[in-house]
């Protein structure tokens, strides 16, 4: 089972002819709203991959719809607290090539209490996964608690903050980074990924696939992406990570879980949207790449 301490956001999508530069105002061609946040995306991806996932998070009183949406997608929500405050949200501009930029307001994602984390993880079992990203508070406590309880820790270092990764790095079993975050981590630590105290590091490379750095076997392997025509890359990394951890939770080997995650990520970039359009296992199996 996966316990995911993660953000839940309202995603506001603005489809634009080009991404606005500094000082520029442009009119969007189309607007859509959906469920997002790296945490929610990963929970939905893991649930779609067929594993049990309990989301640990917080919503404002305006966020009841998000709770219902997560339930509908198969995510367990007993440890999502409705509280005073504004639900996190992201304003996402997407250009004609599918490139994006994002402004994020964390809202209640930063109001998670020690009690909420403790209550959730007290129900976890040794061997479960704790999954985290960097869009909530509470990661240090959650990592410590997870390790005390014998959970495995997966961490997607996004959005990247050197101090956030450094604070928990010795507790991480699986670290997932994109290319930019990997470069930031190398710069922040002054070390190569193969020198870090993390057993498994997976670097996603967009259309280039991904790289697996195994610090147990001292091997680095690269995997090609599945070929697709991309329309929107938003949420590809989250879908990849949710599927990767779900695959491992279901007993797959790392290469098997990576292959599943590459398929899920490739299918995801052929769609507009985030959590609402993450493919399920059947869609991935039925798709001819
Ligand atoms: P985002 O923040 O936009 O969700 P990211 O930067 O975290 O993305 P990427 O490395 O861009 O993550 O993509 C994650 C995974 O999605 C890749 O490893 C790959 O498997 C898949 N993917 C992304 N873009 C493509 C593409 N153009 N074609 C095929 N697969 C892709």
Task: Tell me the ipTM for this assembly.
Answer: 0.98
Q: How much is the average pLDDT of 90-115?
A: 93
User: Nearest-CA neighbor of 90 among 269, 263, 235?
Assistant: 235
Please compute the mean of the pLDDT values over residues 82-97 and round it to a whole number.
94
Residue 33, pLDDT score: 84
Instruction: Provide mean pLDDT across the span 117-135.
Output: 98
Residue 131 has pLDDT above 90, yes or no: yes
Instruction: Give the separation between CA 245 and CA 264, rounded to whole angstroms.
Output: 12
Residue 203 — pLDDT band, cuts 50, 70, 90?
very high
pLDDT for residue 274: 86
Residue 234 has pLDDT above 90, yes or no: no
Q: Which residue has the tokens 């490739």?
A: 266
Does 53 score more than 90 pLDDT?
Answer: yes
What is the average pLDDT score of the chain?
96
Q: Which of 237, 258, 264 maximizes ligand 1 atoms within 8 Å of its Cβ, making it the mutation to test the pocket?
A: 237
Instruction: Give yes or no for residue 177 CB within 6 A of ligand 1.
Output: no
Rounded Cα–Cα distance for residues 132 and 161 (Å): 14
**Reduced to 3 states, what is the DSSP secondary structure of residue 266?**
helix
Pairing verdict, β 129-132 and 100-105: unpaired
Between 97 and 208, name the one with better pLDDT: 208
Percent of the chain surpassing pLDDT 90 = 92
pTM exceeding 0.80? yes
DSSP character for 105?
Answer: E
- Token digits for 7? 């953000």
Residues of the chain by 3-state class (helix, strand, coil), percent to 5: 40, 25, 35
pLDDT at position 99: 87
| Predicted local distance difference test score (pLDDT) of residue 232 | 87
Say which residues have a Cβ less than 8 Å from residue 272's Cβ, sequence separation at least 6. Answer: 13, 32, 94, 231, 232
Asked whether 242 lines ligand 1 (CB < 6 A), one says no
């Amino acid at each position: 089972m996966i316990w995911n301490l993660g953000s839940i956001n309202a995603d506001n999508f603005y489809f634009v002819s080009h991404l606005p530069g500094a000082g520029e105002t442009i009119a969007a061609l189309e607007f859509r709203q959906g469920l997002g946040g790296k945490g929610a995306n990963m929970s939905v991806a893991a649930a779609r991959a067929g594993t049990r996932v309990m989301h640990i998070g917080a919503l404002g009183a305006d966020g009841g719809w998000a709770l219902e949406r997560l339930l509908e997608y198969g995510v367990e929500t007993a440890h999502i607290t409705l509280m005073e405050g504004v639900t996190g949200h992201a304003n996402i501009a997407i250009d004609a090539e599918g490139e994006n930029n994002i402004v994020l307001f964390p809202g209640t994602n930063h109001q998670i209490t020690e009690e909420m984390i403790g209550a959730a993880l007290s129900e976890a079992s040794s061997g479960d996964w704790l999954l985290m990203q960097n869009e909530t508070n509470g990661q240090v406590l959650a990592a410590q608690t997870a390790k005390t309880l014998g959970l495995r820790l997966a961490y997607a270092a996004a959005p990247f903050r050197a101090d956030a990764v450094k604070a928990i790095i010795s507790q991480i079993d699986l670290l997932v980074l994109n290319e930019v975050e990997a470069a930031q981590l190398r710069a922040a630590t002054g070390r190569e990924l193969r020198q870090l105290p993390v057993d498994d590091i997976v670097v996603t490379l967009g259309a280039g696939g991904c790289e697996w750095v195994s610090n147990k076997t001292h091997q680095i392997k690269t995997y090609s992406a599945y070929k697709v025509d991309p329309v929107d890359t938003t949420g590809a990394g989250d879908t990849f990570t949710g599927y990767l951890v779900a695959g491992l939770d279901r007993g797959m080997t790392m290469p098997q879980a990576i292959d599943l995650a590459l398929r899920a990520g490739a299918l995801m970039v052929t769609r507009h949207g985030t959590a609402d359009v993450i493919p399920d296992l059947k869609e991935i199996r039925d798709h001819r790449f």
